[in-house]
Amino acid sequence: MEEDMRIHNLSPTTRKRYLDRVAAFAAYFNKSPDLLGPEEIRAFLLHLAEERKLSSSSINVTVSALRFLYKYTLDCGWDFEKIRFARREKKLPVVLSPEEVALFLRAVKNKKHKTLLMTIYASGIRVLEATRLRIADIDSKRMTIRIRQGKGKKDRYVMLSKKLLVLLRDYWRIYRPSSWLFYGKNKNEPVTAGTVRQVCRIANYESQVKKRVSPHILRHSFATHLLENGTNLRTIQVLLGHKSPKATTVYTHIARQNLKDMDSPFDRLPPL
């Protein structure tokens, strides 16, 4: 299965997730997957939904992993449409106000970690994209940041904030990275996404921001604040690297300007 996933050019992160889910499936029945079939798959998905109480997005990763295994690796020839994806819950993302973003960032003590998190908010990139940035990806002449092989194995360019450029130059003078912009334990490897998320949890607590803060919530806040400032959805879609416009339209539901400029019918009632 690992070899087949490499042939299909799936990302290392996706490959690991799929293998983990197939291993969990096999462990649940204590049998090799080639001895299991549609009935066991259905029972396992029911277990994930009703006993484990997993979200639909988490269950759908398992569905994708099992579809791949039985379709490509084991070549079973089943009707794979019967292994159905769970209906995804429609939840609006948490968004910070600009004041909350500033309060959160002030609570990050380490300069490298603070600069990385500021880069995520300033450009809207994903946490994995931020950890894999190289020095050569920062183009001060064109004022862009190059994202190499982001989600979907696609390159793209995002904006480079003038204020962020000043902070990145200051960071470079202190840390002197050689290849990876934000290196980890040594300069030859990037900082891990897990480290960044842990930094967020600590700063979230120390900043006393009441909302949960994560790298992805900083990305949501970037998109929402752009929309509130008049940036069109198509531009935001390109900056975020969304394949479909549908993924970007969620921000129209949470942008404050769409609500604050509207009158409720209640406002037009005669005096009560």
Tell me, yes or no, whether 35 and 137 share the same domain.
Answer: no
Tell me, yes or no, whether 245 and 123 share the same domain.
Answer: yes
Q: Domain count of the chain?
A: 2
In-domain check, residue 111: yes
Tell me, yes or no, whether 130 and 213 share the same domain.
Answer: yes
Q: What local confidence, expressed as pLDDT, does residue 90 receive?
A: 66
In whole angstroms, give the CA distance from residue 125 to residue 146.
10
Q: What local confidence, expressed as pLDDT, does residue 7 receive?
A: 94
**What is the CATH number for 30?**
1.10.150.130
In-domain check, residue 268: no
In-domain check, residue 138: yes
With a pLDDT cut of 70, the percent of the chain lying above it is: 87
Which range marks the domain in which residue 238 is found? Answer: 98-258
pTM (two decimals)? 0.69
Q: What local confidence, expressed as pLDDT, does residue 243 receive?
A: 73
Q: What local confidence, expressed as pLDDT, does residue 263 receive?
A: 57
Q: What local confidence, expressed as pLDDT, does residue 106 receive?
A: 93
pLDDT of 262 over the 60 cut: no
Contact predicate 244/228, CB 8 Å: no
**What is the CATH number for 134?**
1.10.443.10
Query: Could you give the residue numbers annotated as active site?
Result: 126, 151, 216, 219, 242, 251
pLDDT of 186 over the 80 cut: yes
Tell me, yes or no, whether 46 and 170 share the same domain.
Answer: no
In-domain check, residue 264: no
Tell me, yes or no, whether 251 and 188 share the same domain.
Answer: yes
Q: What local confidence, expressed as pLDDT, does residue 78 receive?
A: 82
